[in-house]
Amino acid sequence: MNTTASSRWLGPAQLTALGFLALILAGTALLSLPFASADGTATPLMAAFFTATSATTLTGLVVVDTGSHYTLFGQFIVLVLIQVGGLGIMSIASLTGMLLTGRVKLRTRYSTAAEGRPIFEGGVRRTLVATLLLTVFFEAAVAVLLFARFTTVYGMSVPRAAWEGTFHAVSAFNNAGFGLRPDSLISYNTDGWILLPLAGALMIGGLGYPVLSELVRRGRERLRGWLRGTPVSSRRLSITTRMTLKGTAVLVLTATLLIAALEWRGFLAGMPLGAKWLNAFFSGVTPRTAGFNSIDYADAHPITLMVTDIYMFIGGGSAGTAGGIKVTTAIVLLAAMAAEFRGRDDTNVGHRTVPKTVVRQAMTVAAAGVVSVTGGVAALRLFDPQFTADQVSFEVMSAFATTGLSTGITAGLSTPSQLVLCLLMYAGRIGPFTLVAALALRTVSRRFDYPTERPFIG
């Protein structure tokens, strides 16, 4: 192999894809060890591989119960996979190299960018440190709140409460959705002191690191200006941040209202009024790649499943722990449709013109998502025809969007179907652009153009 071809294979995007795959395989090996399971026997290879894939890709789908099947060692491996998967393979490697050598290589910029981690103002070093500090801060804050609740109300021992609080906090901020209860969070569906901190962690983690960094920086500037009595800059937030914040608010609000309307006499029936709204809100937050559930989706109305599918497909913010096609992608697509309906050549969002290349990228990401989901549904319907179309569509959408919600059929799927879900989770986590770059052997440049001819559309 020549040097040029070799360098292409070892590019940042390819290394990211291979890094996630290596992490999955390492997690599979560790989770299949006998002392990782509660009964002391080796976990079947497929179950270990599925769990490792789900944890690394921050999905939350499981074929065995994490809390009862795995020992503390096995649970710790799952937690490490979630944390490393959330921070990113290349970001972890770059941060480690920076701490050991005190230097940041030029290649690090491309490595972090390939993982969807745009460089913040201040350079690569500030990007990596800010990512780590934001993660630790929010995870620690939620862990402390859960620890206090578990010890004072549920009577857990201090070590057990600390472990459960930490596990759920890390899982929530990274939008992984792994829990230590067979019913996820259904046991706590009337406890706002448990659900609300987790919902907050899910939304904050799902905003994406660029948005969080900008908000923190803006808050620090305002605080500094207030303390010094100096005027604060009134420049607007970036278009990405505005789109993400407004899109998130609209999605959470509409999802809450829709689920409340659809399930008021369904799975919300019998709950006190406050608990109904609490669970409607939590169920409006979790479809956006979170994975936790406080209700049983096996009892959900088919329309509720369809609505949840849509929210899972959209997902959360870019360059973070969320999955789906991302909020900004959906907004750009809607803006492009509106521009076409109005006969305008430019796509505008928030008094800004979106470049045509970005519009094409959004269309490509959405189209790739549709093709992936359609192929996944077809495969599962072929391998496991005993399940309904609603169940299969929900499972496939959850895997592709790395959400982790399920109607309860994951463990009952055949091995081929579970492998399809693993492929969807992997593709959904590393992103269409990274996956395409990792699989591409070379880039072909064409030195000619074909004649232009306009086909009929519609």
Name the percent of the chain lying above pLDDT 90.
61
Position 10 pLDDT exceeds 50:
yes
Question: Could you read off the pLDDT of 311-370 as tens digits, one per residue?
Answer: 999 998 887 788 899 999 999 999 999 999 998 989 999 889 999 888 988 898 899 899
Cα separation, 176 vs 159, whole angstroms: 23
Q: Is the pTM of this model over 0.85?
A: yes
Angle of helix 72-87 relative to helix 12-31, nearest 10 degrees, comes to 170
With beta carbons less than 8 A apart as the criterion, state whether 316 and 53 touch. Answer: no
- Phi, psi angle pair for 31, to nearest 5°: -70, -20
Collapse the DSSP code of 244 into the 3-class scheme (helix H, G, I; strand E, B; otherwise coil) and give the result: helix
Instruction: Work out the burial of residue 211: count CB atoms within 10 Å of its CB; fewer than 13 is exposed, 13-18 middle, 19 or more buried.
Output: buried
Position 70 pLDDT exceeds 90:
yes
Question: Could you read off the pLDDT of 410-456 as tens digits, one per residue?
Answer: 999 999 999 999 999 999 888 755 654 544 444 455 676 778 777 87
Tokens describing residue 436 = 């395409």
Tell me which amino acid residue 455 is.
P
* Helix (H), strand (E) at residue 348: strand 347-349
> Of 11, 262, 223, 253, which Cα lies nearest the Cα of 115?
11
β 347-349/352-354 pair status: antiparallel
Position 101 pLDDT exceeds 70:
no
Question: Could you read off the pLDDT of 139-154 as tens digits, one per residue?
Answer: 999 999 999 999 999 9
Collapse the DSSP code of 267 into the 3-class scheme (helix H, G, I; strand E, B; otherwise coil) and give the result: coil
For 146, half-sphere exposure in the C-beta direction (CA atoms, 13 angstrom radius) is 30
